[in-house]
């Protein structure tokens, strides 16, 4: 049985624990700065160690570490795991900024551990199918949308709406579908980005500064121009992705992975309306793909390794920077070096 540790015992820590249990792997230790959270998750998962002390946590022998802490907390657990040769599953964003991301990558590369970033859309059969359809096609434009209801329901951890901790809505929400746009076009890399946004909801909630309305425009190194529309105060949570080229217009009509996901539009002059299977070709989601990769050593199961995820973070960082500086921000030719 694989032995797994979890640091960050909140919503996602709990979700990872459940999927680890489904795999019949074992959560052996849980760490959280808030000890009761660690204790609660350890009890639920049958872990012997629950602690708020990193030394004690890393004294436990483990094969893999799940990092489900808020985004500013990445480098310290990554460094300690790498020193011990422990494989990593890191929740998105891979880091709060590229400086920290590069520092994590240096540790990961030196240790040679498997490091996955938790971009689940890459494991969705709808995006796998769209990627297949686009493999030999020319695409000129990509458009994505992300909506969540935070500013209506306030059903989220407060830090999600605090830019200093979450990085704001591009890093916190849009990152999933921006990463997915890169994925369906073969992990294309960012060239430049520009975003404008405003917080014009909940004026009384002065503790929150994340923009509720945001528009972004960007360029990828395959020549594709992208736009992204983001709202985090409207009914319904979801993602949309559409691509346009000379011989196609295809939209991934995702219903949150439920039955009914379809790809619709036209392809080479013909109407296109295709249901997609509920499972991807691996038969594994992001959680189980990582566990299987550790078990078998097959790194090809990981669709979002840390290095590739940094290209998505570079796109995010350029867009976030542009909000403060105005105008397009260039990514640079080797953002991860
Ligand atoms: N993949 C997804 O769909 C998805 C969805 C939601 C959140 N996330 C990401 O998962 C991560 C966790 O989000 P969440 O929703 O579980 O947040 P959460 O607020 O529910 O949980 C975070 C936990 O981390 C703990 N924590 C804070 N600082 C810590 C530290 N220094 N060391 C150890 N523990 C610490 C907190 O006490 C809390 O228990 C974030 O990076 C978030 O962006 C991903």
Q: Quick one: pLDDT at residue 236? A: 87
Q: Which of 291, 306, 285 is nearest to 112 (CA)?
A: 306
Choice from 91, 173, 180, 312 to test ligand 1 binding pocket (greatest atom count within 8 A of CB): 91
User: What is the Å distance from ligand 1's center to 333 Cα?
Assistant: 32
Do residues 175 and 312 touch, judged by C-beta distance below 8 A?
Answer: yes
State the residue for tokens 């999600």.
Answer: 160
Q: How many CB atoms lie within 10 A of CB 178?
A: 29
Q: Is 32 in the pocket of ligand 1 (CB under 6 A)?
A: yes
Measured from the CA of 52, which atom of ligand 1 is nearest? Answer: 33
DSSP run (H or E) holding 218? strand 213-220
Do residues 145 and 240 touch, judged by C-beta distance below 8 A?
Answer: yes
Do residues 275 and 269 touch, judged by C-beta distance below 8 A?
Answer: no
The three-state secondary structure class of 171 is helix
Q: Quick one: pLDDT at residue 253? A: 86
Q: Quick one: pLDDT at residue 201? A: 98
Class of domain 3-120+287-304: alpha beta
Q: Which tokens go with 207? A: 């503790």
CATH number of 121-280+311-330: 3.30.360.10
> Domains of the chain: which residue ranges?
3-120+287-304, 121-280+311-330
Q: Whose CA is nearest to atom 38 of ligand 1?
A: 10
Q: Is 91 in the pocket of ligand 1 (CB under 6 A)?
A: yes
Q: Which of 179, 117, 102 is nearest to 146 (CA)?
A: 179
Q: Which pairing describes strands 225-231 and 213-220: parallel, antiparallel, or unpaired?
A: antiparallel
Q: Is 304 in the pocket of ligand 1 (CB under 6 A)?
A: no
User: What is the Å distance from ligand 1's center to 196 Cα?
Assistant: 26
Q: Which tokens go with 315? A: 């796109």
C-alpha atoms less than 13 angstroms from C-alpha of 122 in its C-beta half-sphere: 27
Q: Is 305 in the pocket of ligand 1 (CB under 6 A)?
A: no
C-alpha span between 172 and 237 (Å, rounded):
13
Choice from 7, 51, 68, 122 to test ligand 1 binding pocket (greatest atom count within 8 A of CB): 68
pLDDT in 10s for each residue of the chain, 337 residues: 999 999 999 999 999 999 999 998 999 999 999 999 999 999 999 999 999 999 999 999 999 999 999 999 999 999 999 999 999 999 999 999 999 999 999 999 999 999 999 999 999 999 999 999 999 999 999 999 999 999 999 999 999 999 999 999 999 999 999 999 999 999 999 999 999 999 999 999 999 999 999 999 999 999 999 999 999 999 988 999 999 999 999 999 887 656 679 999 999 999 999 999 989 999 999 999 999 999 999 999 999 999 999 999 999 999 999 998 999 999 976 677 6
Choice from 5, 6, 11 to test ligand 1 binding pocket (greatest atom count within 8 A of CB): 11
User: What is the Å distance from ligand 1's center to 10 Cα?
Assistant: 6
User: What is the Å distance from ligand 1's center to 69 Cα?
Assistant: 4
Q: At 102, phi and psi to the nearest 5?
A: -65, -40
Measured from the CA of 12, which atom of ligand 1 is nearest? Answer: 16
C-alpha span between 274 and 210 (Å, rounded):
37
Q: Is 17 in the pocket of ligand 1 (CB under 6 A)?
A: no
C-alpha span between 265 and 247 (Å, rounded):
11
Choice from 14, 34, 70 to test ligand 1 binding pocket (greatest atom count within 8 A of CB): 70
Q: Is 8 in the pocket of ligand 1 (CB under 6 A)?
A: yes
């Amino acid at each position: 049985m694989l032995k797994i540790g979890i640091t960050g015992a909140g919503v996602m820590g709990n979700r990872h624990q459940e999927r680890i249990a489904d795999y019949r792997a074992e959560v052996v230790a849980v760490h959280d700065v808030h000890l009761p959270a660690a204790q609660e998750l350890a009890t639920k998962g049958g872990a012997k160690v629950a602690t708020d002390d990193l030394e004690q946590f890393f004294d436990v022998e483990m094969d893999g570490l799940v990092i489900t802490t808020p985004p500013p907390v990445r480098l310290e657990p990554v460094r300690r795991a790498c020193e011990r040769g422990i494989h990593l599953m890191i929740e998105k964003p891979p880091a709060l900024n590229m400086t920290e991301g590069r520092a994590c990558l240096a540790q990961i590369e030196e240790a040679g551990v498997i490091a996955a970033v938790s971009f689940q859309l890459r494991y969705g059969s709808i995006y796998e199918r769209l990627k297949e359809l686009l493999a030999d096609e020319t695409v000129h434009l990509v458009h994505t949308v992300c909506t969540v209801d935070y500013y209506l329901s306030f059903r989220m951890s407060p830090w999600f709406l605090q830019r200093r901790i979450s990085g704001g809505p591009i890093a916190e929400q849009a990152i999933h579908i921006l990463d997915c746009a890169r994925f369906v076009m073969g992990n294309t890399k960012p060239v430049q980005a520009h975003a404008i946004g405003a917080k014009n909801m909940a004026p009384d909630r002065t503790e929150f500064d994340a923009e509720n309305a945001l528009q972004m425009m960007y360029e990828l190194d395959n020549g594709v121009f992208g736009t992204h529309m983001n709202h985090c105060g409207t009914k319904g949570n979801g993602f949309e992705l559409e691509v346009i080229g000379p011989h196609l217009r295809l939209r991934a009509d995702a219903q949150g992975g439920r039955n009914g996901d379809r790809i619709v539009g036209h392809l080479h002059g013909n109407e296109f309306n295709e249901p997609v299977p509920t499972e991807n070709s691996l038969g594994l989601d992001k959680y189980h793909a990582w566990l299987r990769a550790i078990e078998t050593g097959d790194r090809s199961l990981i669709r979002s390794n840390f290095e590739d995820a940094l290209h998505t973070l570079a796109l995010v960082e350029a867009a976030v920077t542009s909000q403060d500086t105005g105008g397009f921000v260039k990514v640079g030719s080797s953002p991860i070096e």
